[in-house]
Amino acid sequence: MNVLLLNILYLILHMASSSQHETIVTLMPNVLVVMVDRKVFTETQVPLRCGDYQDTEVIWRNGKERLENKGNQINVEVVEMMGGNYSCHNAAGDYLNHTLVLVQDIPSPNRTRRVLEKSHDTDEYIRCLAKNYSGIFHCSWKKTEYRMSAAVVFVQVGRTISCSEDSDGEGLTCQDRDSCPFAEELSRIKLTVYFRTNYLLEDYTITPFYIREIVKPDKIDITKVEGNTFQWGYPATWSRPCPYFPLTFRVKVVQHEASCDSKEKVFISETNINATEFTVRSSYKKYCFCLGAKDDLVDSQWSQWTRYEVKNKPNKH
């Protein structure tokens, strides 16, 4: 008798906990998401509707498996993280419609991330950069070793922005169709990317940003070198006209075998200039000239270093 009472009490508590930890939301047409708490065992009844087929015999399948449920509207049971791709057919087997049921862990500060790795540089899962103010920007990420097959299933973004996934599956290219390079942005861009692995769903939301905050010019091409004098121009991808979108440049001179990011072996520390020419006034025969650029009017990001190695040999007497 005590065992029976305990079993009944367990079932009551289980049903109460399940109702508190389950939510069914529509991610996009034909895609439902069951939100569950992975720390609690759940069995969710998900309602499916084929369409307006009141006078048609409707047969359902989950993948290739035929279900016992029939009719225009049915309920399917999703146990814990086991979703499914449910399709409905007429008596002749012709396809009528489908619903993809995905499962996602309820968002929480301690939720485990399995699809993407954090960037070592920015501590973010997704990084977005723009080469100019045209409204085009690119977002990139790195998948974990065990989720290389994860695919983007949906991108939620504000404003009049459209995005397309890169062919290698490691980023998005987006464009704000109403962007004007000469106008001030009035609202930040909010972007969330949803990844699917089998029937599991994870979403990654980027901190809202303005284009001007993610602008990073392309590397500078050094166009001319005469002795110790270096000349360069603006990147071909930078916004025009240049006087309206001025760049500031930084130069640095290090020993010839050193990295431009080196804090040691530095002959000339970083110097900011607005000109496109610089002369290294040094008696060193071998050195490395480093050049970078950023928007002169906005506190945005510096371009990657352009590295030019000088190997002057001493004169023979």
> Tokens 């962007």 map to which residue?
179
- Average pLDDT over the chain reads 88
What CATH code is carried by the domain that includes residue 10?
2.60.40.10
- The arithmetic mean of pLDDT across residues 86-104, rounded, is 95
Strands 136-141, 171-176: parallel, antiparallel or unpaired by DSSP?
antiparallel
> Would you state the pLDDT for residue 11?
32
Q: Are residues 93 and 123 in the same domain?
A: no
Span 171-217, pLDDT tens digits: 999 999 888 888 888 899 999 999 999 999 999 999 999 999 999 99
CB 276 within 8 A of CB 220: no
> Would you state the pLDDT for residue 295?
96
Q: Are residues 195 and 274 in the same domain?
A: no
Q: Are residues 141 and 80 in the same domain?
A: no
The answer for 277, left when phi > 0, alpha when psi is -120 to 50, beta otherwise, is beta
Q: Are residues 297 and 276 in the same domain?
A: yes
Residue 172, domain member (yes or no): yes
Q: Which of 179, 213, 247 is the last residue of a domain?
A: 213
> Would you state the pLDDT for residue 22?
64
Per DSSP, the three-state class of 83 is coil
pLDDT of 66 > 80? The answer is: yes
Q: Which of 186, 213, 240 is the last residue of a domain?
A: 213
Range of the domain at 83: 1-105
Q: Which of 213, 233, 263 is the last residue of a domain?
A: 213
Q: How many domains does the chain have?
A: 3
Span 135-144, pLDDT tens digits: 999 999 999 9
Q: How far is it, in rounded angstroms, from Cα 259 to Cα 195?
A: 37
pLDDT of 292 > 60? The answer is: yes
> Would you state the pLDDT for residue 108?
74
Q: Which residues contact 4 (CB under 8 A, 6 or more apart)?
A: none
DSSP state of 170: S
For the entire predicted model, the pTM comes to 0.83
Residue 289, domain member (yes or no): yes
Name the amino acid, one letter, at 110: N
